[in-house]
Structures are given as C-alpha cells and as structure tokens.
Structure 1
Amino acid sequence: MGSTLIHGATVLSVDAENRVFEAGFVAIHDGRISGVGPRDATPNPSGFDEVFDLTGHLVMPGLVNAHTHSAMVLFRGRSEGQSLLTMEGWYNSIREPELSLVASDIGPAVALSCAEMALSGTTTFCDQYFFAEEIADAVKDAGLRAVIAYGIVQLGDERRGAEELAKATAFLEHQRSADGRIVPWFGPHAPYVDNTEALLVEEVAVANEYGVGLHLHMACGPEDNEETQRRYGTTAAVALEQLGFFKGRIHAAHCIDLSDEDIAVFARAPHASVSYNASAGLRSGRSGICPAVSLRAAGVTVALGTDNVAANNSYDMVSEMRVAGLVASHREGVAQPLSSRDLIRMATIEGARALGLEHEIGSLEIGKAADIAAFDLSGAGYSETPDPETLLVYSGSGRDLRHLWVGGEQLVQNRSLTRRPFGDIRQTYSATYAEFWNRVQQARTDAKNKKAVA
C-alpha cells in the first residue's frame, strides 16, 4: 500500500494521555500508523511515497458515528412536526413509506450517506436497518468502516420475526468472511415495543453463538417501559437484564429516559454502551435528555451518534459534539460538565470501544489502522487558541474536512472524494429518490382507492 507522512499539523492523538503535538506528524506504512509525535521527531520525508504538509490543519482520528440508519437519507425532511422517538411518529413518518422500499433503493442512498460522512470527517459508523447486504455492499464501495446491525422489526407478527431472525443469521454468516471493514451485528429495533420477549431471547442466543453485538433503541419514549411495567413492575432495561440480555455486547441508542436503576444495569454489564444522540433527541420534542454525565460517572461507555437524517438532518459529527456538550450543560445545570476533550473522545475512541474496535481504531497510536481526519483551521471562524480541542468542537464544522484516510487509503483529498465523484453519487441518488417517493405515493393512492371501494 505504500507510505505516507503527514506533518506540520496540530495532532490530537486521543491516546490514554491525550497527547497533543503542535506542528506534529503522523507516519503511515501499509495502512497502519507507524509513528506519531512532535515536530523534532518528524522522519525524513524522502523515505515516504507521499508527503502532506498540513500546516494550519488539525489532524485527529477519524470520527465514529455510533448510531445511524444510512439508507434513511431517503426520508430527509419528511418527518417535520413528528416525533420519531414515539411509536406514532415513527410509524407515520417512516414505517409506512418504508413498506415501499426495494433493494435497488438502498445502494444509491447509502452511497450518498457515506459520501456525506466521509466529507465531514467520519470514517466509521454503526448502522441498523433492513437490506443489510445492500448496505454492506455500498459501504465497501465507499471505503468506510461500518458495524452493520441487521434491523429486526416484528410488530407482533411471529412469522415475520422468525423470518427476519433467519435473514439476520444468514447476514452474519456471509459478512463474517467478507471485507474486514464490515462488522456484522444483530439489530433488534426496540425491545418489547416491536420485538417480543421470546424473539429477544432467540436474538441473544444467536448473537452470543456468533460472538457479535446487538444494537438497539432503548428508553426512547413512553412506550418503551409500558409492557415491562405492566408485566413485571419494572423498566425494560431491568427486565432485559433478568432475561440475560446484557451478558453479551449491547449498544443502546438514545437512552433518554434511563432511571438510576437502569444506569446501574448498564454499569454492571461487561460490554454495554450508549449512543448519545443529542440533536435527534432535541428535534423529537421529548423532554428527556440522555444522562450522559451520570452514565460516564458510573463507568459506562458513552459514544456519540447522529441518528438518521430524518431525525437529525445532518451527518456532521463536529456539530454533534457541539450539541451534545450544550445539551449536557443544560441538563446538568453546570457549565461544560462534558469538556471538549471528553466530547472528542466520545466521538472517537469511546465510539470505537462501544463497537468493540478500540484496539483497531479511535486514536492515533502506533500499530492501529490509519483512519485519520484532517480539518483545515486556517479559514474564517478559526483563530489562535491554546485549546485546539475546544476550537474544533465549538468553532468548527465538518465542512472544513480537507483530507480523510481509512486504513491508509485516502478517500478524501482536498475536499473531493477519490473513489467516485460526488456529482455522480448525487445524480444517481436523485433518480432513486424520485422513483422511491413516486412508488410511495402510488401505494397510498392504491390503498385509498381500495378503501373507497370497500
């Protein structure tokens, strides 16, 4: 694969010591980081195939989007006035038109999402959706990393649940031997809301058999605990712990209604983490806010995610860091209970840890995969500062991403994609978008006519 030297930039290592190197360097050989350090330790550039003088840039680990649904870019701007963290809002805005999706819709949608993520600094994301094979193919074409959880929605239909479990298992078997940038998981959409207890038990058993994680929505709204409170007098998190659900790797999105007892459940679990999706939570209109500060104090890994771009409308993880920090300050009534450094760690190494990838990505350390983002801080809106982390979080934007590498391969160079032109991706997506929504409208018209005849 060759060698690359990046030098002259402010380098955020995000290692255990949070080392920051002014005018530092990162060296890459055969897709892996071979050196990180200060200016006076910079290797001789003549020994590298490519050399980038990134003076005026901030170089850091690629960002990890810990929760999204990449194919749902098709629904951007389609849920205004609806809360997607309630069953009614989700069903009306998303689930009903989803019934018109076909496999050929997925690739163009995911390609656009991957392009938007790459162009704003994200190198790895955690996805949960249907058509998982098509998502995986599109991610491979884009060159990003992804944990892809096959989304299982049962909605009371036992036969459907069994069929989806079988499809999810087949997905695991196929992708385990596929490209190493794709990690297959299970994705029970929401426990007790649209996955029955019996199906949850089966999902845990299969996930443990294959040694994979489960990515789910939890404590998103009032429906989440209704069933378990009625049956057991407790919350869904506690009921799931009693089922043995938390014995494996669990990554839960949203978690805005967690009780102290629920937080203790996460803290006791060997591999439980939370994706704090602040922007999506605010847009939902829910009064609850993920207790990120309390979770972290209890020792729980908390990562950051955008959720889908119907709930958020943006994949910009720099913006997500800012919103997460502001919302935490509001929730706790304390100025910056999550520091800028905390937020950067949550968007990098903690996201990697939540996905079981902390030994491979999430920090700039020798031996790790060279997943690297370089932001240009020389333009308007930036200025000299003793704190480059706060500069990025509270003054920065993902739109200032200039270069991006995944596994040492440069996917973004001078703000342009290297594998496939963005214009081509957008043109293909636009045609797919029109076809999909025409199909949705036709399905609605047919249903209305059928009802009128009846």
Structure 2
Amino acid sequence: MSSALLRDAIVLTVDAENTMFAPGWVAMSEGRIAGVGPMDTCPDRSDYDEVFSLPGHVVMPGLVNAHTHSAMVLFRGRSEGQSLLTMEGWYNSIREPELSLIASDIGPAVALSCAEMALSGTTTFCDQYFFAEEIAEAVKAAGIRAVIAYGIVQLGDKARGEEELALATNFLRQQRSADGRVVPWFGPHAPYVDNSEDLLLAEVAVANEFGVGLHLHMACGPEDNEETQRRYGTTAAVALEKLGFFNGRIHAAHCLDLSPEDIAVFARAPHASISHNATAGLRSGREGICPVVDLKAAGVTVALGTDNVAANNGYDMINEMRVAGLVASHREGRAQPISSAELVRMATIEGARALGLENEIGSLEKGKAADIIAIDISGPGYSETPDVETLLVYSGSGRDVRHVWVAGEHLVADRSLTRRAFSDIRREYSATYTDFWARVEAARKAA
C-alpha cells in the first residue's frame, strides 16, 4: 500500500482538544495515519509516494452516517405526504412495496448509496435492513466502511422471529470482513412495535455472545410506548432497562419522544447511544424533536444520521450537521445551543464512538485508520472566517468534497470515484429501479 502526504491545508483533527492546524499536514502509510501537525514540522515530500498540496481545503476525518437503510434509495421520492415515523405511513409507503424486493435489487441500490455517501464525504455508515449479505458484498465492492445490522421485523409472527434470529446469527458468524471495513450487528426494527419482548432479549443475548451491538428505532412516536404503558405503566426504554436489554451495546435511531426517565436510562447504560436524524424527523411532521442538549448534558453519546433517502432524500452529512444545529436552536429557544465544533464532532468521533469504533476512526490521530476527506472551501459560498467549523457547517456542502481516503485507499480523487465510474453505477441502478417498481405495480394489480 502506498504512502501519501497531504499538506498546506486547514487540518481539523477532531482529537480530544479539537486541535486545528492552519495550515497543516497529515501523513498516511500502510492504511494508517503516520503523523499530523503544523506546516513548520511537515515531513519531506520525498519520503512519500504521493503528495497532495491542498491550500484552500479543509482536511478532516471522514464523516460517519450513524443511521440509514442504504438499499432504500429505491424508495427516494416515493413517500411524499407520508410520515415514515408512524406505523401507518411506514407500512403503506415502504413495507407494502418492500414485499416485492428480491436479492438482485440490493447490490445496485447499495452501490449507488455508497457512491453518493463517498462523494459527499461519508466514509463509514451504520445500516439496518433486510438482505444483509447482499448489502455487505456491495459495501466491500465500494470500499467504504459499514456497520451492517441485520434487519429483523417480526410483526407478531413468532415463527418468523425465530427464523430471522437464526439467519441474523449466521450473518454475525460469516460477515466480518478481513480488512475491518464491514462489521455485522443485529438490527431489531423497533421494540414492542414489531419485535416482541422475548425476541429482543434473545437478540441481546446473541449480540453479547458475539461482542456486537444492536441498532434499532426507538421513541419515534406514541406507538412505541403504547404496549409498555398498557402492560407496565412505563415507557419502552424504562421497561427494556428493567428487562436487561440495555446491558448490551444499544444504538437507537430517532428518539424524538424521550422522557427525562428515558434519558436517564440511556445515561446509565454502559454502551447506549443515539442517532439524531434531524432532517428525517422534520420531514415526518412529528412534533417531537430529539432532546440532544439534554442527552449530551447527561453524558449520552449522540451521533448524526440521514435515515433512508425516502425520509431524507439525500446523504449529505454536512447538510445534516446544519439541520441538526438549526433544529436544536428551535427546540431550545436560544441561539446555537450546540456549537459548530460539537456538530462536527457528532458527525465524526461521536459517530465512531456510537459504533464502538472510536479507537479506529473518527479523528486524525497517529495510528488510527487513514479515513480522511478533503473539502474545497475556495469556491463561491466560502470566505475568510475566524471559525472554520461554522463555515463548514453553515456554508458548506458535501458537493465540495474533493478527495476521500478510506484505510489509506484513495476512493474519491478530484470528485470522481476511483474503483468504478459513477455513470456505470447509475446505469445499473436505473435498470434495477425500473424493474423493481414494475414488479410492485404488478403485485398491486394482482392483489
């Protein structure tokens, strides 16, 4: 594997002190970060196979999309007017057409999603969906990192739940990639709503046995708590804590309707985190907004995610930082209760921490994996500023990402994919999209 030196850029390390070098350099060798520092300590360019002089660029850790469903790019624009954070909206606009999915649909869809993520600066994402094996293969072909949670939807069918648990367990055994870019998890869709209590506890037991996490949706709306309020007089989070569910590594998406007691549950748990999906939450029409300020004050790890692109329509994590900042101001009734620097951390190191990968990715520190992006801030919309993080969050765009490295591999060079042309990915996806929706329409007519 070649070595490379990135120099003459503004370097955001996102280390514990939020160290910035302006200008600075980052060196990588054998897929790891070999060093980082100010320009007056820059190594000799002759020591490296490649040298990139990047004035007018921000160099920073790759972004972490902490919640999405990559194959659901097939549903982009198909849920307008529906709230995907309600059982009715999800079932009518997503679940019913999902019944027409076949394994061969997944690879082209995930390839397009991985391409869009890489081109906008995301180097790691957390996925939850069906056809997990096909997702894993597509991710490996794309070259970015993914925690892939095997999606389990039971919907009251005990036999189906047992079958899905067995398949998910087999997925855990087989799919951890040798280079560490694919990490398998469990993905119970939602507690009590479509995963029973017994199944949830069985999932925790197996996940703990394999040392992996569970990624699920929580507190998306009143439906999440109806069953536990009826049976126990508590919210789902409190009921699950009493059952021992939070003894595992739990990564929960959305969490719009958390009570103070629920926040305390997450704070007490040894490894519990939340993916705040601000854009998807706003588009859902739900009144609830994830209480990020209260969660962070309680010491809970909060990351950022896009959710699927039926709920969001895009994978731009820079935009997601901006929306998260805006919605926090609206919820708290005061200006910028979450700083731009903290929003950057939520999209990088806090995302890594949520996935148990903080020792490997999420910041530019010697010895970590060389997952690095370079963003061109020399064009329109950018100008001189004393606060680079604010410039990035509130003026930036994923479309300004120019270079992306994952494990030292140059996956995006001068805004173009290096492994496979985007035009080829898009062409294959378009054919798959047409075939899939033709099957959906045929199934509807036959019903």
Interval containing the TM-score (normalised by the shorter chain): over 0.9
Letter of the structure 1 residue corresponding to residue 194 of structure 2:
D
1:450: which partner in 2? Answer: none
Kindly provide the CA deviation profile for residues 205-239 of structure 1, in whole angstroms up to 9, marking residues without a partner as x.
11111111000000001100000000000000000
Kindly provide the CA deviation profile for residues 400-452 of structure 1, in whole angstroms up to 9, marking residues without a partner as x.
000000000000000000000000000000000000000000000110xxxxx
Alignment of 1:42-61 (within 5 A): 42-61=42-61
- Superposed CA RMSD: 0.6
2:35: which partner in 1? Answer: 35
1:401: which partner in 2? Answer: 401
Letter of the structure 1 residue corresponding to residue 56 of structure 2:
G
1:333: which partner in 2? Answer: 333
Q: TM-score, normalised by structure 2?
A: 1.00
Distance in 1, matches of 2:348 and 2:55, equals: 23
2:435: which partner in 1? Answer: 435
1:85: which partner in 2? Answer: 85
2:357: which partner in 1? Answer: 357
1:451: which partner in 2? Answer: none
Q: CA deviation at 1:180?
A: 1.4
Distance in 2, matches of 1:369 and 1:177, equals: 15
Distance in 2, matches of 1:236 and 1:210, equals: 25
Kindly provide the CA deviation profile for residues 153-186 of structure 1, in whole angstroms up to 9, marking residues without a partner as x.
0000111111111110010000136441100000
The answer (yes or no) to whether the contact 1:140–1:179 under 8 Å persists in 2 is no
1:316: which partner in 2? Answer: 316
Alignment of 1:53-202 (within 5 A): 53-176=53-176, 178-202=178-202
Alignment of 1:378-389 (within 5 A): 378-389=378-389
Q: CA deviation at 1:152?
A: 0.2
Distance in 2, matches of 1:179 and 1:92, equals: 39
Letter of the structure 2 residue corresponding to residue 110 of structure 1:
V
Kindly provide the CA deviation profile for residues 267-288 of structure 1, in whole angstroms up to 9, marking residues without a partner as x.
0000000000000000000000
Distance in 2, matches of 1:156 and 1:125, equals: 30
Letter of the structure 2 residue corresponding to residue 195 of structure 1:
N
2:375: which partner in 1? Answer: 375
Structure 1 runs (4+) deviating above 6 angstroms are none
Distance in 2, matches of 1:14 and 1:438, equals: 46
1:452: which partner in 2? Answer: none
Gaps of 5+ in 2: none
The answer to whether the aligner puts 1:304 opposite 2:304 as a matched pair is: yes
1:243: which partner in 2? Answer: 243
Letter of the structure 2 residue corresponding to residue 81 of structure 1:
G
Kindly provide the CA deviation profile for residues 37-91 of structure 1, in whole angstroms up to 9, marking residues without a partner as x.
0010110001100000000000000000000000000000000000000000000
Kindly provide the CA deviation profile for residues 249-304 of structure 1, in whole angstroms up to 9, marking residues without a partner as x.
00000000000000000000000000000000000000000000100000000000
Count of aligned positions: 447
Distance in 2, matches of 1:397 and 1:301, equals: 25
Distance in 2, matches of 1:75 and 1:190, equals: 20
Gaps of 5+ in 1: 448-454
The answer (yes or no) to whether the contact 2:177–2:183 under 8 Å persists in 1 is no
Kindly provide the CA deviation profile for residues 363-403 of structure 1, in whole angstroms up to 9, marking residues without a partner as x.
00000000001000010000011111100000000000000
Letter of the structure 1 residue corresponding to residue 256 of structure 2:
I
Distance in 2, matches of 1:219 and 1:179, equals: 35
Distance in 1, matches of 2:257 and 2:248, equals: 22
Q: Secondary structure at the match of 1:331?
A: helix
Q: CA deviation at 1:198?
A: 1.0
